[in-house]
Amino acid sequence: MVEPADTRPANPRRPEAPQEPERAGPGRAAGPDPALPAGLRRNAPLVPTDSAASRSLAAVIAILTFLAGLCAGTAEMVATSASQWQGSVAKEVTIQVRPGAGRDIEADLARADAIARAAPGIAETRRFSKAEAERLLEPWLGSGLDLSDLPVPRLITLKLASPPPDLAPLRASLAEALPGVASLDDHVLWLQRLSTMANAFVGVGIGIVALVLAATGLAVAFATRGAMAGNREVVEVLHFVGADDDFIARAFQRRFFGLGLRGGAIGAALALLAFALAGLLARAWRTGPAGDEIEALFGAFNVGWRGYASVLAIGVIASMVTGIVSRLTVRRFLA
């Protein structure tokens, strides 16, 4: 007997029971977060460092650091050259022998030289000839003049031993042996003038560096206030979620310190490069006709380790000023 075929569907689908929505437990979200609108998303940091304003501020800091580094290095170079000049001038004194009516200038010159050689503390003496004494007047009177009829004084240079001796006995001996004829010049007046000039130049350099750093601080203050004004809503949200003023000030300080460090490093590197190129040019010009004049005015154009250290210190100080001023400006803005 044949059984009747099964007429039901081959794989019947049973209706699934409705699933209960998953309840959010502790530490789990109630569901996927809705996507924020594009206008409310913020993918940039609180204080962007790669914006046009940030790059401009870094460029301004680099330029100001470069100028301050040049001033500091030049002031150090002038102070070093002045110290070398003072050391060279202080090691020599000069006896001036003036010609007089009825006197033998050569005999007076020889007698003054003998007195100087006999004095204690005199290492070496050198008498200038008449032609050499007249040549010393060429920078003021020009060349080509006949000075034979003029009473040109004759000079004797004395090199002092170390330590420098007391020149009072030598001055008294010359005044006694050749009264009104021979006189001793210890160059004290010129040393005082040279020291005053060098100190004034160094003071002006320090003043310019201080003004440049003050300008850096003002630029950072304006940039910080602009960044705070442009991020007012973000600052309010930070206050709403519990951030205090010190947290916000630290965020701005870190960002602006990075900008100051970048600008200070670039400006200090450019200043060091400028001094290195100037030194190379000075050494090249020293072999030319104007080499003696350049070396007499600027010395060997050697900034020295203190000059390079001062330039690097200016770069570090500029970055520190940037961070401190930004922090103070933020705290004052939020007060």
Kindly report the three-state secondary structure assignment for every residue of 202-261. HHHHHHHHHHHHHHHHHHHHHHHHHHHHHCHHHHHHHHHCCCCHHHHHHHHHHHHHHHHH
pLDDT band at 299 (very low <50, low <70, confident <90, very high): low
Domain ranges of the chain: 49-87+191-334, 99-180
* Whether the predicted pLDDT of 65 surpasses 90: yes
pLDDT greater at residue 15 or residue 131 = 131
* Whether the predicted pLDDT of 66 surpasses 90: yes
Q: How much is the average pLDDT of 96-125? A: 86
For residue 155, list its beta bridge partners.
96
pLDDT greater at residue 228 or residue 328 = 328
Averaged pLDDT of the chain: 77
Of 41-50, 218-227, 299-308, which gets the smallest average pLDDT? Answer: 41-50
Of 31-45, 161-175, 319-333, which gets the smallest average pLDDT? Answer: 31-45
Q: How much is the average pLDDT of 91-107? A: 84
Q: What is the pLDDT of residues 224-248, one digit of tens each?
A: 888 777 777 777 777 777 777 788 7
- Asked whether 314 and 68 are in contact (CB, 8 A), the reply is yes
User: pTM of whole model > 0.85?
Assistant: no
pLDDT greater at residue 208 or residue 54 = 208
pLDDT > 70: percent of the chain: 76
Catalogue the E-assigned strands of the chain: 92-97, 122-127, 154-160, 182-185
